[in-house]
């Protein structure tokens, strides 16, 4: 794959909805679901759990398949921070995570983090955590817009259906790259995801949240490309395999 991102930037898919997002001087882990993720490249485990591997975790919501390794990572690295929705941050504090590790912001807010401006935007989904075998509502689902000092903008939608709020994201932030779910059933499928890209019109898109366990949900990158063709926009769909890096 030819180079698509600015120097010093890379996006690495770790399966499901977990990504390493690296920009000049900053390295983030989005929605940590590693040890029990069937598609996670096991050879990377020691590296990713080592103290200092990341500057911050970015959490869109606390469903198990986005949140399972948040506590182990924070407990294993006292210098590691987590950026998340306010209520989820308070839940982590109640569970023993240090206040200084938690940045609990809210929808619409922007956080300067090193050379990156992190803006929290809405998602259309549910948000809950499992306690004693029961799902309990916690916080709100969100996505992130990351604006890097080099001018590159990335929008990670989180788990969501298509929403007209994406038009606002386009108008305000003009994302260059969008990471969005395409699997269907629990999130957008290819049909909705293609319409989301019509609203956003980024240069590049990376699909996720598909084929983690095989079978359902059914959406695949090729299906997204087929649906996207009807809109005649120049967005390039990048198909990654777990462990592969876009740079």
State how far the alpha carbon of 229 is from the alpha carbons of 25, 205, 206, in Å.
36, 14, 16
How much of the chain, in percent, has pLDDT values that exceed 90? 95
Domain count, the chain: 1
Task: For 168-179, write each residue's pLDDT tens digit.
Answer: 999 999 999 999
Task: For 112-127, write each residue's pLDDT tens digit.
Answer: 999 999 999 999 999 9
Task: For 48-59, write each residue's pLDDT tens digit.
Answer: 999 999 999 999
What is the value of pTM for the model shown? 0.97
245: in domain: no
21: in domain: yes
221, pLDDT greater than 80? yes
234: in domain: yes
pLDDT at 233: 93
1, pLDDT greater than 80? no
Token representation of residue 12: 């690495």
pLDDT at 187: 95
pLDDT at 25: 85
2, pLDDT greater than 70? no
The CATH number for 138's domain is 3.60.15.10
Task: For 152-204, write each residue's pLDDT tens digit.
Answer: 999 999 999 999 999 999 999 999 999 999 999 999 999 999 999 999 999 99
Per residue, the 3-state secondary structure of the chain, as one string, reads: CCCCCCCCCEEEECCCCCEEEEECCEEEEECCCCCCCCCCCHHHHHHHHCCCCCCEEECCCCCHHHHCCHHHHHHHCCCCEEEEEHHHHHHHHHCCCCHHHEEEECCCCEEEECCEEEEEEECCCCCEEEECCEEEECCCCEEEEEEECCCCEEEECCCCCCCCHHHHHHHHHCCCEEEEECCCCCCCCHHHHHHHHHHHCCCEEEEECCCCCCCCCCCCHHHHHHHHHHHCCCCEEECCCCCCEEC
How much of the chain, in percent, has pLDDT values that exceed 70? 98
Query: How far apart are the two ends of the chain, measured CA to CA in Å?
Result: 9
Q: 134-137 and 204-208: which strand pairing?
A: unpaired
pLDDT at 55: 97
246: in domain: no
d(CA 70, CA 218): 27
d(CA 74, CA 91): 14
pLDDT at 214: 81
Tell me which residue range forms the domain holding 51: 10-240
3: in domain: no
247: in domain: no
Least Cα distance to 103 among 118, 116, 122 occurs for 118
141, pLDDT greater than 70? yes
103, pLDDT greater than 90? yes
- With b for 16 or more beta-carbon neighbours within 10 A and e for fewer, the 16-33 pattern comes to bbbbbbbbeebebbbbbb
Q: 245-246 and 81-85: which strand pairing?
A: unpaired
2: in domain: no
């Amino acid at each position: 794959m030819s180079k698509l991102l600015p120097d010093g930037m890379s996006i690495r898919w770790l399966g499901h909805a977990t990504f390493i997002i690296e920009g000049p001087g900053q390295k983030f882990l989005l929605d940590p679901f590693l040890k029990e993720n069937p598609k996670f490249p096991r050879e990377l485990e020691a590296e990713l759990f080592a103290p200092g591997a990341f500057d911050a975790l970015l959490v869109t919501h606390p469903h198990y398949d986005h949140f399972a390794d948040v506590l182990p990572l924070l407990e294993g690295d006292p210098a590691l921070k987590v950026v998340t929705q306010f209520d989820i941050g308070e839940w982590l504090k109640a569970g023993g995570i240090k206040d200084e590790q938690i940045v609990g912001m809210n929808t619409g807010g922007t956080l300067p983090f090193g050379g990156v401006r992190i803006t929290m935007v809405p998602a259309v989904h549910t948000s809950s955590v499992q306690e004693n075998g029961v799902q309990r509502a916690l916080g709100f689902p969100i996505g992130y817009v990351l604006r890097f000092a080099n001018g590159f903008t990335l929008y990670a939608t989180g788990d969501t259906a298509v929403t007209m709020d994406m038009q606002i994201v386009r108008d305000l932030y003009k994302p260059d790259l969008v990471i969005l779910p395409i699997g269907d059933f629990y999130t957008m499928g290819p049909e909705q995801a293609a319409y989301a890209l019509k609203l956003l019109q980024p240069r590049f898109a990376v699909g996720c949240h598909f084929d983690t366990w095989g079978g359902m949900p059914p959406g695949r990158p090729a299906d997204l490309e087929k649906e996207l063709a009807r809109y005649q926009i120049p967005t390039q769909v990048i198909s990654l395999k777990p462990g592969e890096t876009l740079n």
